[in-house]
Chain A
Amino acid sequence: MSSEWPLWEVFIRGQHGLNHRHVGSLHAPDAEMAIHNARDVYTRRNEGVSIWVVRSSEITASAPSEKGPLFDPSNSKVYRHPTFFDIPDEVGHM
């Protein structure tokens, strides 16, 4: 076993019912301690009401080199944005 604690990614849900948001990472020997550590490292200023932790090694990320094929094609497809509808005045601000 490695003597280094594994890395964990930390997600915190804020006060106002928003989604869990990635806030950073930390080291801990297991999930339970990762939660404890996350509480101490990332919620000191009353940031959250719920914590998720996940082993960083469990996260699959898209490769930076695939950026072109993955994201460029959607650049030129303005019709995917709902900007071509006339909004009736009665609807007000959307």
Chain B
Amino acid sequence: MATATLDPAVDQAALFEFLLRLGDNALILGHRVSEWCGHSPALEEDIALSNTALDLIGQTQLWLGLAGEVEGKGRSADTLAYLRDGFEFRNILLVERPNGDFGKTLMRQFLFDAWHFLMLKALKGSTDRRIAEIAEKASKEVAYHLDRSRDLVIRLGDGTAESHRRMQEALDDLWAFTGEMFMGDAVDAALAEAGVAPTPHSLKAGWDEIIEETLAEATLKTPADAYMHKGGRRGVHTEHLGFILAELQFLQRAYPGATW
């Protein structure tokens, strides 16, 4: 099946790169969110966040599984997740930001969910059937993630003086990491050309709309666009990724090939 569906018109190296970006975003954010397991402010939130983390890890398996297939070197989703070094990861910097307080975790989730939702919606129309199918499944999960994070951002932004202050701080702090979602390079251009994926920039208007509407309702002030951090999509990460991988990959590094 793997070779039968390969479209020779698409640069396979670019496709591999693109799938790593999708898979790594889901993997690293899923890991970050899973760090809350057992620590959330309420039992209900704890379970909800764990569900989100599990959704993302499930999506990781699909994206990285397909990435391994496309690469054709026999690497599985697990191999890609557990045995790559930091510079080989392609997630955006936003998802590796530390959790901070609950408000900051939710704000990061909301900023990402809005983008994720639009990206998957576009990918449902991908010319690559395998990508369209994964997007179809994942978009239902992510529609709920967005529902939930948007709702909580509004409640906490328009909540008490303390919750408002924390949400505004989180927003101000994370804003400089949002620009990377909309920066394109040669990989994006090649895939957009083949109809496999949208250009990152084409998602910006829809994202702005979701963000502005939500932040207005949350009585939060949208920060001015200034310098935007970037690098994750080409493997240049902040120091945080190393700590994440140390925990995420520990078992397979210490006990290579260990299974249940």
Contacts and interface: CB of A to CB of B under 8 A. Distances in A.
Is chain B's binding surface mostly helix, strand, loop or mixed? helix
Nearest to A32: B151
Interface string A29-54: 10011001101110010000000000
A5 B147 CA distance: 21
B151 A5 contact: no
Interface residues of B, number: 11
B161 to A, nearest CB: 15
By size class, the interface of chain A is 10 to 19
B198 to A, nearest CB: 30
B225 interface: no
A26 B44 contact: yes
A93 B163 CA distance: 63
B51 A40 contact: yes
Interface string B11-51: 00000000000000000000000000000001110011001
Contacts of B147: 36
Interface in A2-32: 5, 26-29, 32
Nearest to B148: A36
B42 A5 contact: yes
Contacts of A33: 151, 155
Interface of B: 42-44, 47-48, 51, 144, 147-148, 151, 155
19 contacts: A26-B43, A27-B43, A27-B44, A28-B44, A29-B155, A32-B151, A33-B151, A36-B48, A36-B151, A37-B44, A37-B47, A37-B48, A39-B144, A40-B44, A40-B47, A41-B44, A41-B47, A44-B47, A44-B51
